[in-house]
């Protein structure tokens, strides 16, 4: 993640779950990110140059929206992904071609 590059001794290894959680929590705290947990999203709507995200905890306006649907296993995109305009970048965590293009060795 930008600003929190991995500093361990095995850049191609895996951190245990507890370390990943702590790493993520520390990142959120360090950059004062507006992360919200246990929020159910009902709808995402295009609103001019932004998006309106309707949730069970109120509405949010955002310039970008990331939809994460699971772990890094075989690709499974939701059906609505086909309807997203091609100018919108959609990648899967296991897309080796994309990872190599940005300099990451899978």
Q: Give pLDDT tens digits for 10-34.
A: 877 777 878 888 888 998 999 898 8
Residue 94: the pLDDT is 63
Residue 10: the pLDDT is 80
Residue 57: the pLDDT is 94
Euclidean distance between CA atoms 98 and 41, whole angstroms: 28
Euclidean distance between CA atoms 39 and 25, whole angstroms: 17
78 — pLDDT class (breaks 50, 70, 90): confident
pTM above 0.85, yes or no: no
Using CB atoms within 10 Å of the CB of residue 51, give its burial: 0 to 12 exposed, 13 to 18 middle, 19+ buried.
Answer: middle
Euclidean distance between CA atoms 40 and 12, whole angstroms: 34
């Amino acid at each position: 993640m930008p600003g929190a590059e991995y500093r361990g001794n095995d850049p191609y290894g895996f951190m245990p779950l507890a370390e990943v959680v702590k790493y993520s929590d520390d990142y959120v705290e360090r950059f004062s990110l507006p992360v919200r947990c246990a929020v159910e999203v009902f709808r995402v709507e295009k609103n001019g140059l932004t998006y309106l995200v309707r949730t069970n905890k109120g509405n949010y306006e955002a310039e970008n929206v990331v939809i994460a649907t699971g772990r890094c296993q075989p690709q499974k995109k939701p059906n609505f992904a086909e309807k997203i305009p091609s100018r919108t970048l959609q990648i899967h965590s296991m897309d080796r071609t994309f990872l190599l293009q940005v300099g990451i060795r899978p």
